[in-house]
Amino acid sequence: MSTPPQDDATETIDVHGMRIALRRYGPAGAAPVLCLHGWLDNANSFAPLSPLLPEVELIALDLPGHGRSAHRPDVSAYHQLDWVVDVVEAADRLGLDRFALMGHSMGAGIAAMTAGTIPERITALALLEGAGPRPTADDEVRRFLASYLEVRQSARANKQRNRGASFATAVRARLAFGEPLSRASAELLCEGAVMPADRGVRFTNDRRLQRVQPMSLSQPQILAFLSAISCPTLLLTAEQGLAFNPEVMAERAAAVADLRRAHVPGGHHVHMDDPSVVAPPVRELLGLPTR
């Protein structure tokens, strides 16, 4: 594919004065599943899985700073807890009183903390390749903030324009960045993350997302969120996915009261590259009939 498609089915809602984009997959009015993508991905992340879950409506957000959503103001940073607030308010704007949550990677961590914050509203929780942010030790907080300020000042002094390139070049850049994924998945993510620019297209993601962030959470703080989750929860990991710290993951799994686990073949983006292995455990979690 040399150029992105021209039709754009993205909707937008206003969340505390900020534009949040979303895509819907599946029948309108069906049981809602609010979907949260991974770091530097976007709502298109859930398109491959949607045909295998035709009984529900997947409502996939572009988190602030990603895809078609607005960037945070220059004075703000990107904190996981702020994304939790964004998700809850987005659910309110969409009229979702009770709903299922599904997240991938970073989105899985945000989904888990959201489910621990408003447990009475979440009917089921699917965590794909993630169960919370990397824990921060007490003695790392000061260093993280100092590094953030240093990087922020350097970025101000060396502003670079996000130059246009061909869509094919954008796809190659996405394939070279981060965890391996298929070309088809890279194209799909790029379709949701580029816009026209001089001499081609440019990525819409906020460049600040690639910087160190000023604050994270400790493992006990993360466990407090997980221990408050009251809905059936699926923790799905991939054989060639992220290399999680086994002790950290064991503590987090033990903190969730009603947890089932699935380990499937594939890489970090298995829900895109091979959704057929992800759909069965997700269907079971949601109480859907076996296909």
Q: Domains of the chain: which residue ranges? A: 11-137+216-285
Single out the catalytic residue among 105, 185, 227, 230. 105
State percent of the chain over pLDDT 90. 71
For range 20-38, the mean pLDDT: 96
How far, in Å, CA of 66 to CA of 201, rounded? 15
For range 58-66, the mean pLDDT: 97
Question: What is the per-residue DSSP string for 119-152?
Answer: GGGEEEEEEES-SSPPP--GGGHHHHHHHHHHHH
pLDDT at 160: 54
Kindly give, in sequence order, each residue whose CB lies less than 8 Å from that of residue 157, ignoring residues fewer than 6 positions away.
Answer: none
pTM: 0.93
**CATH superfamily of the domain spanning 11-137+216-285:** Alpha/Beta hydrolase fold, catalytic domain (3.40.50.1820)
Kindly give, in sequence order, each residue whose CB lies less than 8 Å from that of residue 103, ignoring residues fewer than 6 positions away.
Answer: 35, 36, 37, 109, 110, 111, 112, 126, 127, 128, 130
pLDDT at 9: 58
User: What does the pLDDT look like over 198-237, one tens digit per residue?
Assistant: 778 989 998 888 877 777 899 999 999 999 999 999 999 9
**Res. 6 pLDDT band, cuts 50 70 90:** very low
Cα distances (angstroms) measured from residue 20 to each of 49, 86, 197, 273:
22, 9, 22, 26
How far, in Å, CA of 257 to CA of 287, rounded? 18
Task: Return the higher-pLDDT residue of 24 and 199.
Answer: 24
Q: Give yes or no: 230 in active site.
A: no
Task: Return the higher-pLDDT residue of 160 and 50.
Answer: 50
- The region of weakest confidence among 73-87, 234-248, 277-291 is 73-87
Is the predicted pLDDT of residue 280 greater than 90, yes or no?
yes
pLDDT at 216: 82
